[in-house]
Amino acid sequence: MLDQFIFILEGVPLSLALTIAALFFGFILAILYTGVLTLWEGKLPAKFMRGFIIFFTGTPLLVQIFLFYTGPGQFEFIKNSFLWSLFSQAWFCAVLALSLNSAAYTAQLFYGAVKNISKNQWEACLALGMSRFEAMKILIPLALRRALPSYSNEIVLIFKSTSLVQGITLLDIMGRARELSGQTYDSITYYAMAGVIYLVINAILIVIAKLMEKRALAFEN
């Protein structure tokens, strides 16, 4: 039984790598989305971005993963281009789907934090002769710090969401548990092992997120 547990445990690096990559790219994209929503509020770019966000928050992540993994192969111009070398890789499709999904949810969080910036702070920046873009460079970092407690939940959600990539042949934690279950038909044992691993790692991620939150919000105490 120990050998099987170690086999499932060997999927942790892949799950963590997917989590880190998705959070990194998702965070950068979320900043860009927030900038578009703030700078072009009520205009076409912001409306387009809202539609993009609605798609990724309104459809299941599993559907998005399968769309990226199986969809591009339906188009000859993609198969005959350099893009196919990327979309033919399950790892790339998983990171892409997780990143875009995370970016959509995170952008909503960040935009809400920006909207909560007081009118006086905006006016103070504008009164100093700053453009709206220059004011954003000062005020958005402040808003992001205040959004950190909610963003810490996204870290845990993304890690748990990596369990869906087993559907596109990746041997993460869940993928390895599923493989053992298929070989022995002992689903309860191996899925329980996977659950324990997820639980422990999530607890560690929560502690790390709380420490980051405490340090980032120290200026408000």
Tokens of 205: 């991620």
Q: What is the reported pLDDT for 67? A: 95
Q: What is the reported pLDDT for 216? A: 64
Residue 113 dihedral angles phi and psi, to the nearest 5°: -65, -40
d(CA 131, CA 129): 7
Q: Where are the beta strands (DSSP E) in the chain?
A: none
Contacting residues for 101 by C-beta, under 8 A, at least 6 apart? 22, 26, 56, 57, 61, 64, 161
Residue whose C-alpha is closest to residue 32's, from 138, 143, 106: 106
> Which ranges of the chain have pLDDT less than 50?
none
Q: What is the reported pLDDT for 220? A: 56
Cβ proximity of 25 and 97 under 8 Å: no
Q: What is the reported pLDDT for 100? A: 97
Q: What is the reported pLDDT for 40? A: 87
Q: What is the reported pLDDT for 50? A: 93
**What architecture is the 2-220 domain classified under in CATH?**
Orthogonal Bundle (1.10)
Q: What is the reported pLDDT for 57? A: 94
pTM for this predicted structure: 0.88
Terminal CA-CA length for the chain: 49
| Helix or strand holding residue 136 (H, E) | helix 132-161
Tokens of 195: 């659950």
Q: What is the reported pLDDT for 64? A: 96
Q: What is the reported pLDDT for 5? A: 92
Contacting residues for 56 by C-beta, under 8 A, at least 6 apart? 64, 100, 101, 103, 104, 105
